[in-house]
Amino acid sequence: MTDTLHSPNANSKSDHSKKELILGAAREIKTPNWTPAEIDQLRRRLIATHGEKGKTSSEYITAVLKEAGFKLLLTLQEDAEDQYEEEFEDILHFTTLRDAEVSLMRLDELMRRFQSHGEPAAVERVLNVARLGKRRAEMIARNQKVQAQKRAEKEEMAAWFRIWLETPDAFFDWLDVRKQSPDFQSKFPHAESEE
């Protein structure tokens, strides 16, 4: 993607304001480490929040974050991404609760496989993808333009990602109990018909 604001003819004022947009959005995300997944989330947030004015490349965002002193985790992460990219293809495609459950099953399977093969960078990639899934679900859950039922589903999905990230070993047992609970049944009466 070409960053038109950063061509040789661009004025420093527009460059300066683009940097301010990036740094402001970065502070809102509040992540201790910036991986490619977080950088992509930041790029998407800029577009969602600022439209055309927010469009920029991941490379430019990375340069701005690096210049500002943010901690970037790109090298091992990039290697893990390149090596296992097909494993992560469409893993965060979830529009229904069932889709979210399948995404978490795939993430769990990948994490355990990478752990058993002693691949910490790939394990970290799985965790970062799960964190991104949680943030995406939270972002949609907060969007007042989205239908209330869909926001409730995304809020539920965000909780699922959070709980899996905190306690992956107990998650699927917890999820079975959660789906049988009266609260879940009343909020999502059609969830089982998705399966």
pLDDT digits (tens, 9 = 90+) for 90-123: 788 888 999 999 999 999 999 999 999 888 888 8
pLDDT tens-digit profile of 48-57? 888 888 888 8
Averaged pLDDT score across all residues of the chain? 84
Domain boundaries, the chain: 12-67, 75-179
Residue 85 pLDDT more than 70? no
What 8-state DSSP symbol labels residue 181? S
Share of the chain above pLDDT 90, in %: 47
Closest CA to 77 of 34, 47, 107: 34
Q: How far is CA 84 from CA 41, 123, 124, 160, 193, in A?
A: 20, 11, 12, 24, 33
> What is the predicted pLDDT for the residue at 14?
59
Residue 67 pLDDT more than 60? yes
> What is the predicted pLDDT for the residue at 83?
56
Q: How far apart are CA 175 and CA 102, in angstroms?
A: 12
> What is the predicted pLDDT for the residue at 69?
87
> What is the predicted pLDDT for the residue at 152?
96
Cβ-contact 56, 5 below 8 angstroms: yes
35 is written with which tokens?
Answer: 């991986």
Query: pTM of whole model > 0.75?
Result: no
